[in-house]
Amino acid sequence: MEHPLLRQYRGADPRRIPPGGGPKQQGLGSGVIVTPEGHILTSNHVIEGADEIMVSIGAEQKQYPAKKIGTDPATDLAVLKIDGEKFPAITFADLEKTQVGDLVLAIGNPFGVGQSVTMGIISAKGRGGMGMVDYENFIQTDASINPGNSGGALVDFEGRLVGINTAIVSRTGGSQGVGFAVPGDLARNVMQSILDKGRVIRGHLGVIVQPVTSDLAETFGLKSTDGALVTEVTPQSPAANTGVQRGDVITHVNGQKITDPRDLRLTVGGMEPGAKVEIKYLRDVQEKTAQVELAELPTEQGRFAQNDSSATGAVL
């Protein structure tokens, strides 16, 4: 269920000619040059449906026609390409070293006024449950993000890419200090998959999971609500082939603790099909371990109704 105050700002709105003719509709958005050859990261909703995409750099008057290389609606990311070389490409920040409270800058083209910079802090990391995309692991910031900023860079004070600005929560439609950016490491992985394979390919375990509520934890005799409760196992899936059953609680993947279904979805979805992983799960309070070779997530299972921060009913 989408957050009622969520605003996702379109940049290059779809160019549609209304019935009976008329001028083309246009919009403005932002993007980030990530390679010297002219590859650009932006938000998928900025360019979705666009017939033509033109790019200007900084204060330059010159415009570059951009080719859409690939999109990933599941993370609201898109990769574009402009012709040329030796473009000023951004470097990526090490997000493991970023902390809540770090100063950041939001760069973009708000309201079409031109390249602008606003300052704020990282308010939170790992935000989800907005109901906007399948894979939500947002960086929250109070740096001002307004219409036209979508797809632009959130950078640290050394100019390294922390995230791609994508949405805000607002009662007015303008910035109220609650903005969200797709983490730079996730954006880089999505981009690399699009460049290497033409699309984003994700790992598939073959389970449907739900959160472990306090009542369920008490019923199952569990010590905490951490983990993801398996409610269904897809026949002939990797999970089924290794004996995972309905009622099991997945607690670790490759030694990484799983806190809830969203965490499991992000972890499995970030792995390649064919990857061999170790999962730990609880059955009747007893810990079990299984070796699983991930399959590829079917396209039709790439969307789900994300009702809360724990991704109830997530297909993995």
Active site residues: 45, 76, 150
**Contacts of residue 85, Cβ cutoff 8 Å, sequence gap at least 6:** 36, 37, 38
Is the Cβ–Cβ distance between 110 and 148 less than 8 Å?
yes
Is the Cβ–Cβ distance between 75 and 135 less than 8 Å?
yes
Which residue from 257, 209, 216, 255 is spatially nearest to 232, judged by alpha carbons?
209
Which residue from 171, 246, 149, 179 is spatially nearest to 207, judged by alpha carbons?
246
Tell me phi and psi for residue 101, to 5 degrees.
105, -15
Is the Cβ–Cβ distance between 194 and 70 less than 8 Å?
yes
Tell me phi and psi for residue 202, to 5 degrees.
-120, 155
46 backbone φψ class: left, alpha, beta (φ>0; ψ -120 to 50): alpha
